[in-house]
Structure 1
Amino acid sequence: MFSVTVRDHLMVAHSFRGEVFGPAQRLHGATFVVDATFRRPDLDEDNIVVDIGRATTELGSVLADLNYRNLDDESAFAGINTSTEFLAKVIADRLADRVAAGDLGEGARGLTGITVTLHESHVAWASYERDLRSVG
């Protein structure tokens, strides 16, 4: 399996509901380093997994919709604990939509998976793996 990873970052504010979250139940900020890994079993006709420039641009665009936002105020997340794991899935799903729309180029239609990892710190991170075989 071949893979290419691109990286960006995301800064949000949010709060959580539930005793398990302790002091994070209060409004707080979070800065994540975001890695998006694109996978496929074989290289495309250009001998690449995906165009790195396009992958970087599309990741940045997906993150721009979330960046510098209080997620508690976003209607799409009303009543949802926007945990690191949850946000990894949101970003992976939005990238998958862009693959299906052709935004990463026709060659990207051969991608079989995306993994999005949000690094909360140098010692903690969470990932979501998304299968793309049924996308576009």
Structure 2
Amino acid sequence: RIETVDEKASFKNSLDNRCLIIATAYYEWHWKDEKGKVKEKYQINCDDEIFTFAGLYNLGTNPETGETLNTFTMLTTDANEVMKYVHNHKKRMPIIINRNDEKAWLDKSTKISDFAFPYQAKLIAFTK
């Protein structure tokens, strides 16, 4: 959740490590019943063929082996209208970065909270 990322200890060392996660589509589940026992899978595409999500990365060390681990996380925000229907149990969506904002996202002098808004470009959702 982008709204609380700066409050979470698990992200403390990652806030300046921004990255773009490249995608051509992603999947979400639409709950067909109240408890999510019956779900329908949706593929989500963007109006651009390739798009990017807002991510944070970090390097960690496996305490058992000493091996360096490369990790990343995708940030989420409130859902836009399309995703409120698809992701109806939590009404969240990944932060999709507009092409014009990709450099700003990577610039750590830009506030993370500036990106805490639902993506408003055309998303296409269809069942798989």
Tell me which protein shows more helix as a share of its residues: 1
What's the TM-score bracket when you normalise by the shorter of the two chains?
Answer: under 0.3
More strand per residue: 1 or 2? 2
